[in-house]
């Protein structure tokens, strides 16, 4: 790769579109473990040493980078590289080239399996048995890393599939993400992870932009009153860490609230609304902090659009976005319980809601078919907040991890929220119509599924179309509707098994 100053990589032989298959790599070694765990490297080494490698497999292993402690694999391109596959070299090869996850790809594993006859006990209930895995795929190992990748990979049936996750011009390098979920962490953490695991630093456009912006002095006040107490100027990066620290503290508080099963629903709702207000304030501060000035974009070696730059920078605060969704969803479910129990709205709940209701006043005017009570209105407002927060999450993931499993999961979750919102709207409209008819007021027209459900997200039709596009971008753009439907069922099953 001349543009990298040397090394190897994979380039597109033709123009590619999202969902185009790039390669399928067979493993030289592949081992599994229990769902939720990752096999040890020692197990993979033992598997290779005890197996009867063919000459081609041995050559493929010796051709892989083993770290700086070993010489070039093939310095002159004439097959004159290493010939001794020692245990020490094998550990180096695995450290630099192996790939593993704590579960297999949910959607494709369900799509390839026969429909389950009965729910199973334990992990993966109701679907194929899930396992963690670790393996070596020689041709896949040629792909380099970027924190803004244009390809996505996953294991299916033991083989590694690589698919274009965006438009790729002929001759351009195909790049994947080595970091998994850690790609949604700040640049300093990403660089540290890559240095520790692979002994290199990433120079992708996203990292370059984030490093430059992170070094600039913050003019915000998120650090005010923080434990640092420096009183002097702080960098954007330092201030972001303050916000993420508060996010971690709230996560512990959220767990405590969720664990308090004996707490009355009304009291639980008060606690959740307080956490929601804190979360929203810190997220707003992070968004202001991570909005790049125009001059920053002009300093980039690679052209970056303002929208793309904003998404790249804000992805470092992904935990704040994720937490905002989680708290809003928990509050909405709690509000449903309060509504079902007909618990009176306490002064504390009313006070906690007052500010949010003032901001949403323009949307508060109810239609004849809208929520028929204060409790119902509160429930719908909280579900709208959850759907809106999830849309923001989706935008970040689409920008930095397109067509990843997380992208599929979040799109599937957004579809479920949209369908639930329309279902609630129909139920409320039906109940209101029945009540009006009982009182002699005649039937009142209700909303029908126009796609504008007031959910804060998108309508179910648009959400379904987006799900199908995300699935086709991951598994193949020419897939039939039936296959896409089966994959969506697998994604929904996976969403019930892992936390996103």
CATH of the domain at 156: 2.170.270.10
What is the structure's pLDDT at 82?
55
Q: Is 99 helix (H, G, I), strand (E, B) or coil?
A: strand
**Does 371 map to a domain?**
no
Secondary structure of 176-241 in HEC code, one letter for each residue: ECCCHHHHHCCHHHHHHHHHHHHCCCCCCHHHHHHHHHHHCECCCCCCCCCCCCCCCCCEHHHHHH
Look at residue 345 and tell me if it is in a domain: no
374-400 vs 306-314: helix axis angle to the nearest 10? 110
Please indicate, yes or no, if residue 213 is contained in any of the structural domains.
no
Residue 377's alpha-carbon distances to 332, 335, 357, 364, 402, in angstroms, are: 11, 10, 10, 8, 35
CA distances for 116 relative to 40, 119, 486, angstroms: 30, 7, 13
Domain boundary among 168, 201, 234: 201
Residue (of 142, 144, 114) closest to 129 by Cα position = 114
CB-CB contact of 153 with 403 (8 Å): no
Task: Report yes or no on 362 lying in a domain.
Answer: no
In a domain, 50, yes or no: yes
265, part of any domain: no
How much is the pLDDT for 468?
97
**Can you name the residues that pair with 23 across neighbouring β-strands?**
162
Maximal C-alpha separation, the chain: 92
- Rg of the chain on CA atoms, in Å: 26
Q: What pLDDT sits at residue 75?
A: 44
Q: Which of 148, 170, 201 is the last residue of a domain?
A: 201
**pLDDT value at residue 354:** 57
Q: Model-level pTM?
A: 0.85
Residue 23 CA to residue 10 CA, distance in Å, equals: 10
The whole-number pLDDT of residue 158 equals 93
- Residues in the chain with pLDDT values less than 70: 1-6, 71-83, 114-127, 219-231, 261-262, 342-372, 435, 438-456
Number of domains, the chain: 2
Q: What is the pLDDT of residue 3?
A: 59
Report if residue 32 sits inside a domain. yes
Are 268 and 260 a contacting pair, CB within 8 Å? yes
Chain centre to alpha carbon of residue 111: 21
pLDDT confidence of residue 239: 96
Domain hosting residue 84, numbered range: 2-201
Q: Is residue 487 a part of any domain in this protein?
A: yes
Instruction: Kindly write down the DSSP assignment for every residue of 11-42, as one continuous string.
Output: B-SS-B-TT-EEEEE--SEEEEEETT----HH
- The sign one gets for the Cα dihedral 117, 118, 123, 124 is positive
Report the pLDDT value the prediction gives residue 483, as an integer from 0 to 100: 96
Coil, strand or helix at 485: helix
> How many Å apart are CA 26 and CA 278, to the nearest integer?
49
Chosen domain end from 167, 183, 201: 201
In order of 214, 253, 266, the CA distances from 416 in angstroms are: 36, 27, 26
Helix, strand and coil in the chain, % to nearest 5: 55, 10, 40
């Amino acid at each position: 790769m001349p543009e990298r100053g040397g090394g190897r990589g994979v380039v597109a032989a033709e123009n590619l579109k999202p969902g185009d298959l790039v390669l399928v790599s067979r493993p030289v070694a592949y081992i599994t473990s229990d769902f939720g765990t990752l096999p040890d490297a020692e197990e993979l080494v033992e598997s290779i040493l005890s197996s009867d490698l063919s000459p081609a497999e041995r050559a493929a292993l010796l051709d892989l980078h083993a770290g700086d402690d070993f010489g070039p694999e093939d310095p002159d391109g004439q097959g004159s590289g290493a010939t001794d596959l020692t245990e020490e070299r094998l550990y180096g090869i695995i450290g630099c080239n192996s790939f593993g996850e704590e579960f297999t790809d949910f959607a494709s594993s369900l799509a390839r399996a026969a429909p389950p006859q009965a729910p199973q006990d334990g992990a993966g209930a109701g679907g194929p048995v899930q396992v963690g895995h670790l393996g070596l795929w020689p041709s896949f190992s040629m792909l380099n890393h970027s924190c803004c990748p244009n390809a996505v990979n996953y294991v299916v049936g033991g083989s590694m599939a690589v698919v274009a996750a965006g438009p790729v011009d002929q001759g351009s390098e195909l790049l994947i993400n080595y970091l998994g979920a850690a790609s949604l962490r700040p640049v300093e953490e990403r660089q540290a992870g890559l240095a520790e695991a692979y002994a290199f630093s990433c120079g992708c456009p996203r990292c370059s932009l984030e490093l430059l912006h992170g070094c600039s002095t913050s003019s915000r006040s998120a650090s005010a009153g923080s434990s640092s107490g420096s009183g002097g100027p702080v960098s954007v990066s330092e201030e972001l860490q303050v916000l993420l620290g508060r996010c971690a503290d709230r996560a512990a508080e959220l767990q405590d609230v969720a664990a308090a099963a004996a707490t009355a629903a009304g009291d639980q709702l008060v606690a959740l609304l307080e956490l929601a207000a804190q979360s929203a304030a810190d997220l707003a501060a992070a968004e202001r902090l991570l909005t790049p000035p125009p001059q920053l974009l002009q300093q980039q070696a690679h052209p970056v659009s303002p929208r793309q730059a904003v998404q790249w920078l804000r992805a470092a605060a992904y935990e704040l976005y994720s937490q905002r969704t989680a708290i809003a969803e928990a509050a909405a479910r709690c509000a449903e319980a309060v509504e079902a129990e007909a618990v009176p709205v306490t002064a504390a709940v009313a006070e906690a809601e007052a500010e949010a209701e003032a901001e949403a006043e323009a949307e508060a005017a109810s239609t004849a078919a809208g929520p028929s009570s204060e409790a119902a209105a509160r429930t719908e407002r909280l579900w709208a907040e959850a759907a809106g927060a999830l849309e923001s999450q989706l935008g970040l993931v689409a920008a930095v991890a397109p067509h990843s499993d997380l992208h599929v999961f979040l799109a599937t979750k957004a579809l479920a929220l949209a369908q639930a919102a329309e279902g609630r709207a129909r139920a409320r409209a039906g109940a209101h119509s029945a009540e009006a008819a009982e009182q002699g007021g005649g039937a009142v027209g209700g909303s029908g599924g126009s796609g504008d459900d007031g959910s804060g997200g998108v309508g179910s039709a648009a959400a379904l179309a987006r799900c199908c596009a995300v699935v086709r971008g991951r598994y193949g753009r020419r897939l039939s509707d039936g296959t896409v439907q089966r994959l969506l069922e697998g994604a929904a099953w996976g969403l019930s098994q892992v936390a996103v």
